[in-house]
Amino acid sequence: MSMALKQVFNKDRTFRPKRKFEPGTQRFELHKKAQASLNAGLDLKQAVQLPHGEDLNDWVAVHVVDFFNRINLIYGTISDSCTDQTCPVMSGGPKYEYRWQDEHKYKRPTALSAPKYMSLLMDWIEVQINNENIFPTNVGTPFPKCFMQVAKKILSRLFRVFVHVYIHHFDRVTQMGAEAHVNTCYKHFYYFVTEFNLTDHKELEPLKEMTARMCH
């Protein structure tokens, strides 16, 4: 990563601490394998494929955490221009509005400003990935039956961050010289979720035209 990008993606600007994998665990080895493929400049479409003999749940868990960290970082870089005033509604252009719903305070889909939505989203994801009953870290501990369902929900909601950033804040991304980095991260995410059918096609609609240009 160039110095300029290092300054753009400054750790202090992220929302929250990164979730890391413990060295020596299967998940850490898989994470290293995934990173090595990316660093080797392997075609992203190939890089997302499940390595021979590896468990799909493990592969998905590693990527969910990695995408959470990266997308967090991307949003952190533009968060100073995404305020309750500039983005009073969490949306992706005039046709798409995203409402927040959870098991606690917001039992019904509720319209919120983009920064409020993002904050709740990142907190919610952090709780999921730190929950040993959903994302077990010990080798040999089986994944729960609901794991894939939770992973899909996390990835679908993370996709909305891309939608908001691309449609409402891409000028800022370009201004900071981070366009290539964000585009690569998006392509990696898109190839991964489509390879394993982890996001509903309806969710992908808002960026359909851009994706057709970038990923095909």
Cα–Cα dist 71/16, whole Å: 12
Cα–Cα dist 172/72, whole Å: 16
Reduce the secondary structure of 76-89 to three states and give it as a string: HHHHHHCCCCCCCC
The answer to whether the annotation marks 87 as part of a ligand binding site is yes
The answer to whether the annotation marks 146 as part of a ligand binding site is no
Q: With the CA atoms of 186, 191, 197 and 201 taken in that order, what torsion angle do they form, in degrees rounded to the nearest 10?
A: 50
The answer to whether the annotation marks 168 as part of a ligand binding site is no
Cα–Cα dist 35/125, whole Å: 22
Cα–Cα dist 113/69, whole Å: 22
Cα–Cα dist 8/178, whole Å: 7
The answer to whether the annotation marks 201 as part of a ligand binding site is no
Show binding-site residues for Zn(2+): 82, 87, 164, 169
Show binding-site residues: 82, 87, 164, 169
